[in-house]
Amino acid sequence: MTAVFSSGDTAWMLIATALVILMIIPGLAMFYSGLIRRQNVLNTMLLSFVTFAIVSILWFIFGYDLVFGNDISGLIGTIQNPFFNGVLESQTLARLAPTIPTGLFAIFQMTFAAITVALISGAIVERMKFSAWLAFVPIWLILVYVPIEHWMWGGGFLAQLGALDFAGGIVVHLSSGVAALALVLLLGVRKDMRLLPHHLGYTVIGAGLLWFGWFGFNAGSALGANHVAVSAMIVTNISAAVGLLTWMLMDKINTGKPTLLGALSGAVAGLASITPAAGYVNVTAAICIGFVASIISYYAVSHIKPRLGYDDALDVFGIHGVCGIVGSLAVGVFALPAINSVLTSGGLITGNLSLLYSQAIAIVIVGAYAFIMTWIIGKVLDKVIGLRVAPQDEVNGLDVNLHEESGYRLS
């Protein structure tokens, strides 16, 4: 593609970038904070905000180069412009998005890094030290997220293998979900494992912002105002809607009553599962993906987690990890060259088995790497500064004990 600046593409990508930021702050912060006890609402919000701040800085110091710099053996990129030195001054167009400025491409990708790490916080709320989280964020970004994104989107070995991930089913949802599982296994269960939402209204607002912002996440991954962006927006909305209705149906079948929290969970499941496929599939596929992912995620949350006994507080693995896997495999089944011209061949429905094979390999490699590395990082941090708050702090709440603040009057 010839590098020619497009004001239309640039305008859309500026909007898409802002939409993804909206997903994190305040979207994810509100979504998570409404689901926990009121004594921990501020700590939970702060986890999202501080994560965004840390990642924002480190991304432009070295993260962008390590992901999108010249490839080294398919594993990592080279640091060519530390501190983004000279990039803004040169006013170049992005190598992988040659109609928009390099800086715009870089900040759009930065938002993906930030939300990936922030997603993990939903699993460890109400019991992880804030100091441990501050140390975890930069280490995990450098050792886990950056290599994985390079492998998939920076020209690394998984991209060379032919694996596809349109907007982050593997890079974002699988990696964060598996990392969350590793951390909660290290932390152990809370003293009270019940899900006790103190304000579902916060969660409703957060879910609405996530759904709205997800159009920037998925349609923005077309990297321009084009037909693929339109297609991605439509199938994103369809999958979310199907996921919402399917989870409500599962609630009705299993408990006799549909719930608001279930509906929101289903919408997020539909959004997460369509993410890797959004730019490659049609409406029929989106309906199938949202339906299947919501059912599998429902059982992962309601049956598998209680049976295995791990305490993934806000179901980061059960929703994001599981749906990242389902959606990534769905790419290998439903991808159509007619939807996106970058595809040289489609998925299983076009008679091509090789793409499904590549997707499965990528899922196994990324899942294993994210889990093992997160486990190692968590173990080291536990030895050095400790991961878990004191028992009394956990009982009384983290807002007062860790931050000397309170979201509500507690007396």
C-alpha span between 283 and 80 (Å, rounded)? 41
Per-residue model confidence as pLDDT tens for the chain (411 residues): 678 999 999 999 999 999 999 999 999 999 999 999 999 999 999 999 999 999 999 999 999 999 999 999 999 999 999 999 999 999 999 999 999 999 999 999 999 999 999 999 999 999 999 999 999 999 999 999 999 999 999 999 999 999 999 999 999 999 999 999 999 999 999 998 888 899 999 999 999 999 999 999 999 999 999 999 999 999 999 999 999 999 999 999 999 999 999 999 999 999 999 999 999 999 999 999 999 999 999 999 999 999 999 999 999 999 999 999 999 999 999 999 999 999 989 999 999 999 999 999 999 999 999 999 999 999 999 999 999 999 999 999 999 999 999 999 755
What pLDDT sits at residue 284?
A: 98
Residue with tokens 């500026």: 14
Question: Could you give the dihedral angle defined by the CA atoms of residues 351, 162, 276 and 76, in that order, rounded to the nearest 10 degrees?
Answer: 170
Token duo for residue 298: 């429902």
Task: For residue 228, give Cα distances in angstroms to 197, 222, 280.
Answer: 38, 6, 8
* Separation between Cα atoms, residue 208 and residue 240, nearest integer Å: 11
Distance CA 240, CA 45 (A): 24
Q: What is the pLDDT of residue 376?
A: 98
pLDDT digits (tens, 9 = 90+) for 313-351: 999 999 999 999 999 999 999 999 999 999 989 999 999
Q: Which amino acid is present at 141?
A: L
Cα distances (Å, whole numbers) of residue 157 to 9, 98, 363, 365, 373: 29, 23, 13, 11, 19
**165, 171 Cβ separation under 8 angstroms:** yes
Residue 221 near residue 279 (C-beta atoms within 8 A): yes
Cα first-last separation, the chain:
64
- pTM value is 0.96
Query: Distance between CA atoms of 60 and 141, rounded to whole angstroms?
Result: 13
Handedness of CA 265, 266, 267, 269 (dihedral sign): positive
At 79, list the tokens: 């640091």
Is 164 in contact with 337 (CB distance < 8 Å)? Answer: no
CB–CB of 39/410 below 8 Å? Answer: yes
Which domains, from first to last, does the chain contain?
A: 10-89+101-403 (1.10.3430.10)
With both helix axes pointing from N to C terminus, report the angle between 102-124 and 130-140 in degrees, rounded to the nearest 10.
140
